Amino acid sequence: MEKREFDTRYGDYRQAVEEYLNGLFADKPHWADLYESMRYSLLAGGKRIRPVLTLEFARLSGMDWKKVVPVACALELVHTYSLIHDDLPCMDDDDLRRGKPTNHKVFGETMAVLAGDALQPEAFRLILTAPGIAPAERAACALILAQAAGADGMVAGQILDTLHAPKTEEELKEVDHLKTGAMIAGACKLGVAAAGGSPELLAAAEEYGYQLGLAFQIRDDMLDVIGNVDEFGKPIGSDKEEGKVTYVDLFGIDGCGKKVLDCTEAAKAAVAPFDGGGFLRTLAASLAERNK
């Protein structure tokens, strides 16, 4: 796909997501400080890769992607909650996220915990009340998100990462499969499920998402060593300071670069029969070279 066409479609998706998110939690009840904390992290920017994937897979399934925006944004709420909690002193204890002070640095730990807590059920409310989605498809989407984010998905990955000290390639791959891959694969599957797409496309979406997730995490490990803090948006070298073993420790920068490319090619191959315009393959290639 030509860059101009790719950028236009990505921009359309991202604009729709930003506009929808900006309309959430904008009321002013007497607990508006909670809404302020939620919106602080929810509207902090980012590439919106996950909702973009949801919308593209819905389009590939033959549905008007605009009807799926609430579902795409639901996953972004869960992703945001995970970042708020991941930054807490009891977890990674980070001061910066996307170039801004982390939520607990601005609002305090109690509010940060509760903002994350609130974002989780609100995500399922968005799915279960999505006006353009049939009831059966809503239920399927809610189950996909629960599986991706739950005790045998993202949270399991966080447990392994923070409390089990993974050291081998097999252990790191399991962490990344659960912590990063589950949510990215979930985003892809949500688009297919919301549209009532085919089992074949659903399977391709899952494989694409997991391969993309592994490439994404390995690239993150590389950027924690070679990245620029102003561009990366969070401290460089934090993994080493925390004593974490990463792919860079095991394979070096060059070895990691090769693994990113291998995963990227596997992701592209998974969707090649369905990705007629090449948007998903172009996206995978661009993420392999990202600097933030």
CATH topology of domain 3-287: Farnesyl Diphosphate Synthase (1.10.600)
Tokens of 163: 């409390």
- Is the predicted pLDDT of residue 237 greater than 80, yes or no? no
Q: How much is the average pLDDT of 123-127?
A: 98
Average pLDDT over residues 24-34: 97
State the chain's mean pLDDT as an integer: 95
Please determine, for residue 239, whether its predicted confidence score (pLDDT) is greater than 80: no
Mean pLDDT of 275-288: 96
What tens digit of pLDDT does each residue of 32-45 get? 999 999 999 999 98
Percent of the chain at pLDDT above 70? 96
Whether the per-residue pLDDT at 225 is higher than 70: the answer is yes
Identify whether the C-beta of residue 180 lies closer than 8 Å to the C-beta of residue 221.
no
pLDDT at 232: 58
Q: Check residue 242 and give its pLDDT.
A: 73
Q: How far is the C-alpha of 105 from the C-alpha of 120, rounded, in Å?
A: 21
Give me 2's structure tokens: 């030509």
- Does the pLDDT value for residue 228 go beyond 90? no
Q: What residue ranges do the domains of the chain occupy?
A: 3-287
